[in-house]
Amino acid sequence: MLKEVYKETEARMRGAIQALEEDLSGIRTGRASPALVERLQVEYYGTPTPLIQLASTSVPEPRMLLIRPFDPATMKIIERAILASDLGLNPSNDGKAIRLILPPLTEERRRDMIKVVRHEAEGARVAIRNIRRDANNDFKELLKEKEISEDDERRAQEQIQKLTDQAVADVEKVLQAKEAELMEV
């Protein structure tokens, strides 16, 4: 019974860290990365669709993204979605592909990006603490139903706290790596 709660809690905490990593991959540094636009939602036949399903994205140069739509008719809606996003990029269309040139980041813009990254990391920490709370509530339920003893509950809560501490440390590692990447000139 307790092992199931441990496994579920650990899996949910790993999921929170992976979600943070995915969110941070979309925050641009000085380099072009397909992850910057792949999750961008494009209004395709009235349905929000991720760009990755409508086009292939490549990096021909360090500061350029090349987006090749699978269907040339989607070119305009992809351009509109890029302009409407908070990426701050101007697409240039040559009829076959869309080019996005990433301008170099200013010091002020880097600092703003770090604030965003820290906010995302705080959201991940809150998610991890909420997962810990859910696990502890599960232990209290098991104790109330007399399926575990008070000693088992206390040990289980200590084990969950160790998992929580490890997950928060992992969030810090991800945060530090992204901050270093953003400050790199």
Whole-angstrom distance, CA of residue 36 vs CA of residue 79 = 15
Distance CA 82, CA 94 (A): 15
- What percentage of the chain reaches a pLDDT higher than 70? 98
28-44 average pLDDT score: 79
**Which range among 16-20, 24-28, 80-84, 139-143 shows the weakest confidence by mean pLDDT?**
24-28
The CATH number of 2-25+106-183, from 1.10.132.20, 1.10.10.10, 1.20.210.10, 3.90.1150.10, is 1.10.132.20
The pair of three-digit structure tokens given for residue 170, joined into one six-digit string:
């992992």
Give tens-digit pLDDT for 80-132: 888 888 777 888 988 889 998 887 778 887 888 888 889 989 999 999 999 99
The DSSP H or E segment spanning 52 is none
Structure tokens at 88: 């701050």
pTM: 0.71
- The SS3 assignment for 147 reads coil
**Residues 130-142: tens digit of each pLDDT:** 999 999 999 999 8
Who wins on pLDDT, 27 or 157? 157
Q: Tokens in use for 42?
A: 């494009």
Contact present, 30 and 105 (Cβ < 8 Å): yes
Nearest to 128 by CA among 158, 171, 157: 171
Q: What pLDDT was estimated at residue 30?
A: 66
Neighbour tally for 41: CB within 10 Å: 13
One-letter identity of residue 28: R
- Alpha-carbon distance of 102 to 87, in angstroms, equals 10
**pLDDT at res. 62:** 82
Residue type at 44? Y
What does the pLDDT read at residue 98?
A: 92
> What CATH class has 35-101?
alpha beta
Query: Between these two residues, 1 and 162, which has the higher pLDDT value?
Result: 162
Domain limits, the chain: 2-25+106-183, 35-101
